[in-house]
Structure 1
Amino acid sequence: MIKNILTQIWNQRRTNSWLFAELIIVFVLLWFCVDVLFGLFSARIQPKGYDQEHVYKVTVNYRDDQSVKMQDADSISRFWWHPLSEVIKNFKQYPGVESVCTSFGTDVYSNNTMFQGYHIDGDTTNIFTANIRYVDAEYIKTFRIPMLHSIHKNLEDKDWNAINNVNPAIVSAELADSLWGTTNVLGKKFSDYYSPNLHYKVIAVSAPQKNSDYNRYEPYIMTPYPEYIYKSQAIPSIYIRVKADADNNEFANSFIKTMSAKIHIAPFYIFDIQSMKYYKQLDDASQGVTQEVNNTILMMSFFVFNVFLGLLGTFWFRTNSRRGEIAIRMAMGSSRKQTAIHFLTEGILLLAIAALPGTIVCLNIWYADLTVTIHADATILRLSITLLISFILMTIITLIGILIPARKAMHILPAEALHEE
């Protein structure tokens, strides 16, 4: 049957030429839309390297009338950092709170970023930039950051102190690979390019990290607070992890209401508490990701709908104009099922033949690096999957466009159809 259909397609090549041209153009355009969405989707499902589920960010502010500018480190420690540590200690005692952590530097779901250059000791020619995140020991537990390699099974405060002027550091897989070409680098030492006397020792290598859902993986380093932070009146980012059974829609309101009334530690007060889902939405909106995703989905939906109407109309007209052929086939003894299979197979073969030059065009677009690669690399796997998805979508549209008019034509008596011809 397939051989007879291919012969029929060849004999009708002039009639089918416009249909082939339409199928090729539609296939390429549909593939491009699918490729953009696939890039966004593949970036979205990649692990971020941390778990923000049940995590809240607590914003603590200070009262100007109770704040005094202090110059010496002892005063700052006594009247600023000690009261702030008491505030954080109170957070840990709140029912349902599993852990509390603080950080400075590149923040999760935020435009607040901090970069620094690093190099292997003795090699100042190869400098690698990384996001830096100053954290306390609880940060790893709060965000449940998975480790590829680690010296300590559970990071504690005593493990998070400098030894012989060498700071402990947790590096991401990207930074480890950039510096040493491997991720098995426990105990390796490296230095800060801009502060040559600042040295680090790798105590753990974390899973790949990225700042938000749709970003690419970037090099990261997590290390204890530097001395200059304790000499300034700064407020770190404060995060709390809530136990799953205690996390609900009323937790944030209950927390801020209870803690605001309980905490009277000058000069601090709780300003706000929001879940990380809230900051994710803000980050997506500020980066234009939400609008990009919505626009892409809307554009693709509109395009697919127009493709559906166009192909439906084309195959409908084409099938409807062959009512006489359908009548003859049925008069010669073909059943409705056999006739339907014949026309559906013909449509799929037409699409498959048109998909070959369409695929060649897509390959050239991919090879010329004209695809959207902001969120994900243009790999062979991505190209293969998007081509397959595009072909499946086109197949579904083509089959619907053939089946509806064919079924309608097959319910007409052969004599009546031949009389109309």
Structure 2
Amino acid sequence: MKFILHNLRMIWARLSNSGWVLAELFLVFIVMWFLCDSLGCMKYTFYRPLGYDIDHVYRLTTVQGGESRDTTLLNADKYLNILKRLEQEPTVEAASLSYWSLPMSGANSYNSLAVQDTIGQNGRIIYATGGYTRVFHMQEQQGRTFAALPVGINNVMLSQAIADAFKKRLPEFSLNTPLTWRGDTVNTVTQGGIVGSFRDYRYGNDAHWIFMRLGEQLMRERFGNQQAQIVFRVKPAADGPDYREQFLREIAPRLDT
């Protein structure tokens, strides 16, 4: 019995003298646990599907200049001519023109939509022609495609994330719920559908986007001579390592405006 008590006293004395060591070990354990958990979450987020596809997708860069260029046309007219010709190319599956709206690209074109003038959600405005969701293979509801959305600033499609955010605050929210732009109590914004969940960068949450389809007249009036971005998806059978050189050699001259 005395032997057991003696050993217990020795253990207690060593523990009291080694308190700081135990505290340091505990702190190291907490830090390592936090780092492992964070790295695991980052790895899961990185490999989670983005919600859109950029395989076989190219961006067309345009150059302005030359003595023979037509100065009577707006940039919007020239971009529209390029887009129409590009869509007719046999190797092109889909093409789209947009303003500050490419995935994984920074843009400050944000605005807020509200329900009943009180429940609002902020989102990035996507100004694009109807082929945008086809180029990036974004998920759309059957019968409610972006290409069928009426043109105009008061017709929108919401990303799934922003629609879910509205539903969280207003359970009865649906596609038939009328919306208004921030500060506009006169015009009603109509929903045309929902674009499936996606992220606009690898480590981000599902994106809050508001899609608006561009028409020719809207482009001329709203964007005029602004710089646009043209992207297109090439048919898998036509794509390959030498497609870029083939495009510049054979197709680009036919797009010259």
TM-score, scaled relative to structure 2: 0.77
Task: Describe how 1:130-169 pairs up with structure 2 within 5 A.
Answer: 130-147=123-140, 150=141, 152=143, 154-156=145-147, 159-162=148-151, 167-169=154-156
Cα distance in 2, alignment partners of residues 155 and 126 from structure 1: 25
Give the alignment's Cα RMSD to 1 decimal: 3.2
Aligned partner of 2:81 in structure 1 is 86
Q: Which runs of 5+ in 1 are unaligned?
A: 1-9, 266-421
C-alpha spacing 1:31/1:183, structure 2 compared with 1 (3 Å)? farther
**In 1, are the aligned partners of 2:146 and 2:213 still within 8 Å (CA)?**
no
C-alpha spacing 1:15/1:64, structure 2 compared with 1 (3 Å)? farther
Task: Give the one of 101, 107, 115 matched to 1:112.
Answer: 107
* 1:176 to 2:159 alignment: no
Cα distance in 2, alignment partners of residues 105 and 182 from structure 1: 32
Aligned partner of 1:230 in structure 2 is 220
* Structure 2 counterpart of 1:61, one-letter code: V
Q: Which runs of 5+ in 2 are unaligned?
A: 1-7
Cα distance in 1, alignment partners of residues 63 and 186 from structure 2: 34
Shift of 1:168: 3.1
Shift of 1:109: 1.4
C-alpha spacing 1:22/1:196, structure 2 compared with 1 (3 Å)? closer
Give 1 or 2: higher helix fraction.
1
Cα distance in 2, alignment partners of residues 182 and 60 from structure 1: 46
* Structure 1 counterpart of 2:42, one-letter code: L
Task: Describe how 1:237-386 pairs up with structure 2 within 5 A.
Answer: 237-265=229-257
Aligned partner of 1:219 in structure 2 is 208
* Structure 2 counterpart of 1:179, one-letter code: F
Cα distance in 2, alignment partners of residues 13 and 97 from structure 1: 77
- For the pair shown, the structure with the greater C-alpha radius of gyration is 1
TM-score, scaled relative to structure 1: 0.49
SS at match of 1:61: coil
Residues 243-263 of structure 1 show CA distances to partners (whole Å, capped at 9, x for unaligned) of: 223332222232223333333
Shift of 1:241: 1.0
Shift of 1:130: 0.9
* 1:189 to 2:181 alignment: no
C-alpha spacing 1:238/1:196, structure 2 compared with 1 (3 Å)? farther
**In 1, are the aligned partners of 2:86 and 2:255 still within 8 Å (CA)?**
no
Shift of 1:212: 1.0
C-alpha spacing 1:154/1:27, structure 2 compared with 1 (3 Å)? same
Aligned partner of 1:43 in structure 2 is 45
Task: Give the one of 174, 177, 193 matched to 1:204.
Answer: 193
**In 2, are the aligned partners of 1:103 and 1:238 still within 8 Å (CA)?**
yes
**In 1, are the aligned partners of 2:121 and 2:166 still within 8 Å (CA)?**
yes
* Structure 2 counterpart of 1:229, one-letter code: M
Cα distance in 1, alignment partners of residues 251 and 65 from structure 2: 16
Residues 128-186 of structure 1 show CA distances to partners (whole Å, capped at 9, x for unaligned) of: 21111012211111111113xx3625554xx2325xx8843210122223334359722
C-alpha spacing 1:22/1:177, structure 2 compared with 1 (3 Å)? closer
**In 1, are the aligned partners of 2:144 and 2:192 still within 8 Å (CA)?**
no
Cα distance in 1, alignment partners of residues 171 and 46 from structure 2: 26
Aligned partner of 1:274 in structure 2 is none
**In 2, are the aligned partners of 1:173 and 1:183 still within 8 Å (CA)?**
no
* Structure 1 counterpart of 2:241, one-letter code: N
Cα distance in 2, alignment partners of residues 137 and 152 from structure 1: 14
Residues 220-271 of structure 1 show CA distances to partners (whole Å, capped at 9, x for unaligned) of: 1101237653221223221111222333222223222333333332xxxxxx
Aligned partner of 2:3 in structure 1 is none
**In 2, are the aligned partners of 1:96 and 1:246 still within 8 Å (CA)?**
yes
C-alpha spacing 1:247/1:151, structure 2 compared with 1 (3 Å)? closer
C-alpha spacing 1:95/1:166, structure 2 compared with 1 (3 Å)? closer
Cα distance in 2, alignment partners of residues 16 and 133 from structure 1: 66
**In 1, are the aligned partners of 2:51 and 2:138 still within 8 Å (CA)?**
yes
Identity between Structure 1 and Structure 2 (%): 18
Shift of 1:12: 9.3
Aligned partner of 2:91 in structure 1 is 96
C-alpha spacing 1:252/1:187, structure 2 compared with 1 (3 Å)? farther
* Structure 2 counterpart of 1:248, one-letter code: G
* Structure 2 counterpart of 1:233, one-letter code: N
Residues 300-347 of structure 1 show CA distances to partners (whole Å, capped at 9, x for unaligned) of: xxxxxxxxxxxxxxxxxxxxxxxxxxxxxxxxxxxxxxxxxxxxxxxx
Cα distance in 2, alignment partners of residues 11 and 241 from structure 1: 77
**In 2, are the aligned partners of 1:171 and 1:202 still within 8 Å (CA)?**
yes
